[in-house]
Structure 1
Amino acid sequence: MLSRTADHLYWMARYTERAENTARMLDVNVQTALLPQSAHAAEQGWRAMLGISELLDAFDHKYGLMTARDVLDFMVRDPDNPSSIASCIGQARENARAVRGTLTTEVWETHNATWLELQNKLSGKLLEQDPSQFFEWVKYRSHLSRGVTIGTMLKDEAFHFIRLGTFLERADNTARILDVKFHGADHSAFADVQADEEAQHDFYYWAAILRSVSGFEIYRKVYRDVITPERVAELLMLRADMPRSLLACMEDVVGNLAQVRNDASADTERFAGKLHADLKFAKIDEILAAGLHDYLTQFLERIYELGNRLSRDFLVPLA
């Protein structure tokens, strides 16, 4: 397969997944903003989300003051923000169009229809009237794209590059969604004895986190007990049977990488395999003792490096 074709397929999948996960992250903040809290705490929540997405400087440069409305506008429709939902859906469509002949008709039409429907959603003011409904629509379109891909495409190299992009992006974003809670905090927060109000606030926060990754019902099924930060972290990081966990994502990255290996990819496979093994044999209490934020920061750095290695070995090298 031509490296440029693989590159378009890989980034089509990454941008689609990024749009979905941006919607999930925003939905967490919209839900938690409804909880009783000071204006300062609400602002810090938005700042943490922008910070963990590495967009805080860009937002401050453009808007200055931090308001929920401006953050939503910046993260959803701003064409100057390459990670906004509108930009991601547009880039996914452009990458799909570039390799139209490699995709099935159903996959192309799904991406094209998503882009067209997005214009109607944004002009129809759905975001301002019911942001959660808009985010559900973004998630649904991503699910549809993924399902059509699995259900209609030949399981060849093109398919595996699409899946590589999907799971690498999902691992990155699951780590970011989890880290929003701990951005700038240390692991001692787990050990602190909280007041009733704070404990109640945390319950709703963690419930929102779980729902944002479609994990609330899974949590209840697995643990059958009260929601605790330790178990949420374990579910989203170390459980291979949780579809959006870091371990599950890395298992799929390693599996798809093995299907497209070439003469230059041995070191990249080894790098991905080590990252997978570190998650597979880790214990959540050891991660928390060392500091969850530090662990996730290191994980994000390694995912970034893995993406660079994939680009070097298979795709159009990043500038």
Structure 2
Amino acid sequence: MIEWSAYSQLIISYAILGGVYALTALGLSLIWGVMRAVNWAHGDLLMLGMYTAYWMVLLLGMDPLIAAIVAFCLLGALGGIIHLIAIEPVIEKPGGHEATLLSTLGISVAIESIALILWSPSPRSYDNIYKGIYLELFGIRTSLAEAIAFSLSLIAIFLVDQFMKRSRLGKAIRAVSQNPIGARVVGINVSRIRLFTFSLGVALAGVAGVLVSTFYPNIRPLAGYVWDIASYVVVIFAGLGSIYGVIISGLIIGVLEGIGTVMFTNAFRHILVYSVFLVVLLLKPEGLFGRALRRV
């Protein structure tokens, strides 16, 4: 029989994973809030962040935390290119949101296919100094890599929140999110705001991918699908309009996965998460922290 300390250990590990879920979901939430568009390639872009760290460490001996900065820049630029080529030309046309979904789905398939050709489906991992160092608190041990990933995820979310509240560009993003027509009337370039927001969302996914890769021994071309689904669950669970709600929802999902694993089996954790998810949708369709829309 597994001792309670072992249960606690596993649940804490999943809670840490929930923090990274929150960072990944934040990018999705920003994109949906401004564009009302689904980026189905989000998880695959996170996967590219994982490979960015892998190759930066393997070929250049780069510290994974420095690789996170590289991934932020590279994935942000890639996100801008994807937006200009596949999203901006169709988003304002009739059926634009459906076209955006199909475009990002096509990009997802393309990224996965190219990754499979270049890197094969075999899982990879890399050694780093953070993975071999362990911290212990109240009898619960966690690797320094997990602690750093969790902490940096929360710091990144806090910085994005402050950027959205205090900067001129952040306020413009919020204006477009709330009323794109009104924002255009007062002189905000809505197209540029969409471009920046999509790039930022993808860049955050890239950073999340790097953080995950420091402790997650499963870097492979199809890894993005798992993160895609988990991130959408977190976004819908939290509801729109609350950045810190994304953090809480990410932690809830992570803890539920941990409870499902220790109380039942690894496969059951998904059943538990989606059961709670469905209950929340039935009782509070706008999400735990979202605001219900009122008919006028």
TM bin, normalised by shorter chain, reads under 0.3
TM score, norm. by length of structure 1:
0.26
TM score, norm. by length of structure 2:
0.28
Structure scoring higher RCO (CA < 8 A, sep ≥ 6) equals: 2
